[in-house]
Structure 1
Amino acid sequence: MAAASEGTPCWADGTFADLEGAKHFYGELLGWTYGESQSEYGGYTQAHLDGRAVAALSPAMPGQDAPNAWCLYLASPDAAATTAKIHACGGEVAVEPMRVGDFGTMVLASDPGGTAFGVWEAGSHEGFQERLAPGAYAWAEVYTRAPERADAFFAAVFGYGVKQLEDDAVDFALYDLGADPVLGRMRMGSEFPAQVPAHMNVYFSVADCDAAVEKATSLGAQLRFGPMTIPYGRFASLTDPQGAAFSVIDGTTTGGEIPKVTEIA
């Protein structure tokens, strides 16, 4: 498998105070099984579907006051060069390029509006081994209160084209590499409580959105929005039992017309 092209979402991991609780929740909801926790990397634990790596879970590092949250990693052929662009474009870097054994090099950063994300320069670990199948990564969106700054930042750092949806009901943009959208961007309006920070909303694919919501809430999750059917699928946004936001989507159940888009960058 070739390493993903620059700017492509290539991996997702979650940090949780209760690692075993997170393993149980996502295992029951998404059908994940787990590899052995890697003690040399702080208990980092890969999740699998049929033996193929789809995500990872990890406890917070000792002394680190990190929220329970998902992190999406964007591919880079040169983590140091990408880090320089993040600095130059007004982002913040929490973890400068750090070699992770022979697996690759990671960076943790945030855009000028506070949306946290990761950068991954692949070594032996090239990222997702499965996408879109039920239980695997499907999509992600930048949730931000500063959409113009986010659009300019991500376009400058990763070379995305930016297209605005022509929809009066929502301020939403698509970030693309060539013809293919790779991320969405959603303006956080008054419907988001002030205590909800900007974040990267990660979607996992499910076979049946309504059934997944019922299962998730029975396991202690809270439904935040949906289920709702749009031209791209039927989705719902949730908060897991430890407060980490994520979404589920059934891409086979669609409805409505695909809105027009206007290229803005």
Structure 2
Amino acid sequence: MKFDKPVLGGPCWTELGTSDLEGAKRFYTDLFGWRPETDPRPEAGGYTTAHVGDAAVAALSPLYQESQPVAWNVSFAVADADDAARRVTEAGGSVLLGPMDIFDVGRFAVALDPAGAAFQLWQARAFPGAGLFNAPGTLGWVELATRDTDRARDFYTTVFGWSVNASQWYTQWGLDGEDFGGMAAMGERFPPEVPPHWMPYFAVEDVDAAAEVAVRAGGAVVLAPTAVGDVRRIAVLRDPQGAAFGVYAGPED
């Protein structure tokens, strides 16, 4: 992505809901070299922040509801979570949880777009979001997979004011033209039972090596390392508990 800190309207954080917190800690530490720190407070419910150096870059947490899928979630920064939640519903989406205060760190909500893709709203207080982007082991791109790209374009530009840079094959989301993510149409390669979803991409130094590490650590390769253009390489991986995420090396543009 073209910015290196949380920006209003843009992705500011990503967190994994997992059925095996300790297993997820081991897997992502092996893969990205993360240093996980679990909040010791009982009311935090095992919420674990992953660090690269001193920077908080992502989170891992147990599943809090039986219906919650094992999946990565993407949070977008907003100035006012209550106002953003109102815009979501007015634009045809829905709010599943919140808005609610999370200790003194911020105000939070979980929402669905009109097609059912989940995302999160984050109104920062003490915690603005990730402290590092675009470096190995950190968030560098977010991507929406959906079966209704036209409706998604209308929804997200209405809610967040994103700019759209679209070609015949791919749509890129941006803020004032500074792209941070994209949208892919869910075609035949997506089984019918796979719902629309947001997925984070993490930067790595070597995509092929990252895929090999993921497999050795108990994960799987969903999309084998693939060249995109002349300088970028990507892969989609799955952790041992089933959560999918992307990795990439090279420029984001």
> What is the match of residue 49 of structure 2?
46
Alpha-carbon shift at residue 191 of structure 1 (Å): 0.8
Q: Percent identity?
A: 39
Render the CA deviation track for 1:56-98: whole Å, top value 9, x for unaligned.
000011x432111001000000100000000001101111211
Aligned equivalents of 2:206, 2:104: Cα separation in 1:
38
Render the CA deviation track for 1:190-244: whole Å, top value 9, x for unaligned.
1111122111111011100000001101112121113111136211011111111
Aligned equivalents of 1:105, 1:52: Cα separation in 2:
21
Secondary structure of 2:38's counterpart equals coil
Aligned equivalents of 1:130, 1:137: Cα separation in 2:
8
Aligned equivalents of 2:132, 2:225: Cα separation in 1:
24
> What is the match of residue 245 of structure 1?
244
Render the CA deviation track for 1:92-116: whole Å, top value 9, x for unaligned.
1111211001100011011111111
Letter in 1 for 2:198: M
Aligned equivalents of 2:235, 2:205: Cα separation in 1:
13
Letter in 2 for 1:129: G
Aligned equivalents of 1:117, 1:138: Cα separation in 2:
17
- 1:131–1:138 Cα contact (<8 Å) kept: yes
Structure 2: which 5+ residue stretches go unaligned?
none
In the superposition, the TM-score normalised over structure 1's length comes to 0.90
Letter in 2 for 1:26: Y
Structure 2 vs 1, CA of residues 135 and 194 (structure 1 numbering), >3 Å: closer, same or farther?
same
Letter in 2 for 1:181: D
Aligned equivalents of 1:228, 1:36: Cα separation in 2:
35
> What is the match of residue 107 of structure 1?
109
> What is the match of residue 27 of structure 1?
29
Aligned equivalents of 1:40, 1:160: Cα separation in 2:
35
- 2:5–2:133 Cα contact (<8 Å) kept: no
Alpha-carbon shift at residue 179 of structure 1 (Å): 2.0
> What is the match of residue 66 of structure 2?
64
Letter in 2 for 1:190: E
> What is the match of residue 95 of structure 2?
93
Aligned equivalents of 2:137, 2:205: Cα separation in 1:
8
> What is the match of residue 261 of structure 1?
none
In the superposition, the TM-score normalised over structure 2's length comes to 0.94
Secondary structure of 1:35's counterpart equals strand
> What is the match of residue 263 of structure 1?
none
The alignment's C-alpha RMSD in Å is: 1.7
Deviation larger for 83-92 or 228-237: 228-237
Alpha-carbon shift at residue 3 of structure 1 (Å): 7.8
Whether 1:118 aligns to 2:117 is no
Secondary structure of 1:112's counterpart equals coil
Render the CA deviation track for 1:100-137: whole Å, top value 9, x for unaligned.
01100011011111111101000111001011111111
Letter in 2 for 1:188: M
1:56-205 pair list within 5 angstroms: 56-61=59-64, 63-166=65-168, 170=169, 172-205=170-203
Structure 1: which 5+ residue stretches go unaligned?
259-265
Aligned length, in residue pairs: 248
> What is the match of residue 213 of structure 1?
211
Secondary structure of 1:125's counterpart equals coil
Aligned equivalents of 1:215, 1:225: Cα separation in 2:
15
